Every structure is written in structure tokens, then in C-alpha cells.
Amino acid sequence: MNSDREGLITNAAPFGESSTTIPSNTIDQQQRERSILEQSRTLALLIYLFVNWFITANYIALFVTVVLVLLLAFDFWTVKNVTGRLLVGLRWWNEIKDDGTNVWMFESREGRKNNPLDARMFWISMYAYPVIWGFLAFSALISFKFEYLLIHVLAITLNVANVVGYTKCEKDAKKQMNSYITGASNSMFQSAVGNLISNKVSNFFGGGASTTARV
């Protein structure tokens, strides 16, 4: 297991629940991390809008296309490997086996309740960005502006991949948590029933022995 996977397991932590008391320096660090991550997500979108509205030179458009491809790739990797772990304690990836089949792999951090604001912002941005890029792609198509078609396709594809991955990861984590709760409840019930039966049997034989002694 490599360093990117350390501290993550397949058992789920609750999603979007109130966290326990966190030191102020930890809260400040989380806020800075969230700000940096959201800015990195917004940068590609802002550059696209600025260039699309104010710059028409072809050579600049080509350069911007390269920059946007790099930013979108960086955004995809960051959201998949860093943002999800920091904000909601989740991570996903896809492994290819020797026979060529794809396997979805999911991880969730153990023992950490997520900050409600972090979780809310993460999921809102997760679903909002594909919609925004889809709207921009549709607007470009009806305006016959095809110079950034590659950017539209790439942005939608990468964002949808993260949506699918994290949605599957969340469902898997909740399933693991429900299984854990069910197993713990069954174990407690069986233990309680066992103790009750044991006490009844002990009382029965204890009472019988006492009666025999008196006779």
C-alpha cells in the first residue's frame, strides 16, 4: 500500500455530521485548505470565460487550450486524491486487473466525523461543475464556436468521472457503515439474550439446590 492510501480503510465514517470539538488552529488549517482547493477548481473555469469573451486571436486560443487541459487534469487529480480525503474522508480509484477487467476501489477514513460545511461545499461543487461545463458546451455549440470543443469534452468527462467515482464511494461507505451498525446491534442483542438465559439457568439451579438443602 502506497503513502496515498495510508490512514484510509473501507469502513465508513458518517457523512456530513457535526464534528467534535476541534482546536482553532486545525479549523483555520481546514479553512485554508478548502479555500485553496476551491480556487484551483475555479481557475480553469475563470480562464476559459475570460478568454472566450475577450480574446479572439487563434494563437492565444491554442495556448490557452493547452493551459486549460493542464488545469483540468490537475483539478481532476486533486479532487480525486486530495480534496475528497480532506473534506469528506473519501477516495476512489480504478484498478485494471491482469485479465483487463476494471475494478472500482473505495476508501473512507476511520473515526472522523466530517465538518458539515466542508461536506456540503464538496458535494455542491462536485455536482455543479459538470452542469456548468455542460451549459458552456451547449452555448458554444449553438453559437458555432468549436475552437474549445476539446476543452468542453475533457472538462465534462473528468468532472463526471469524479461524480460517478465519489457517488459510488459514498454508497459503498454508507453500506459498510450500515453493515457495521447491524452487526454491532446483533452482537449486543445476542449477548443480552445469552446473559439473560445464563442468569435464568443459574437462578433455577441455585434455587433448586437451596430447597434440597433445607429438606
Each residue's pLDDT, cut to its tens digit, for the chain (215 residues) gives 344 444 444 444 333 333 333 344 444 555 555 655 666 678 888 888 888 777 666 667 788 888 999 999 999 999 998 888 888 888 888 888 888 788 888 888 776 677 888 888 889 999 999 999 999 999 989 988 888 888 999 999 999 999 999 998 888 767 665 554 555 455 554 565 556 566 655 665 655 544 444 44
DSSP string covering 121-132: HHHHHHHHHHHH
Rounded Cα gap, residues 76 and 129, in angstroms: 12
At 184 the pLDDT is 47
Res 195: pLDDT: 60
pLDDT value, residue 115: 80
pLDDT at 1: 38
φ/ψ of 55, rounded to 5, equals -125, 130
Please tell me the pTM assigned to this model: 0.66
Residue boundaries of the structural domains of the chain: 3-214
Using alpha carbons, select from 28, 19, 8, 42 the residue that is nearest to residue 119. 19
pLDDT at residue 26 in the model: 47
For residue 79, give the DSSP letter.
I
**Nearest-angstrom CA–CA distance, 128 and 155:** 12
Helix (H) or strand (E) holding 66: helix 58-78
Per-residue pLDDT, 6: 40
Query: Do residues 92 and 104 touch, judged by C-beta distance below 8 A?
Result: yes
CA distance 128 to 130: 6
In the block, cell 455543479 appears at 128
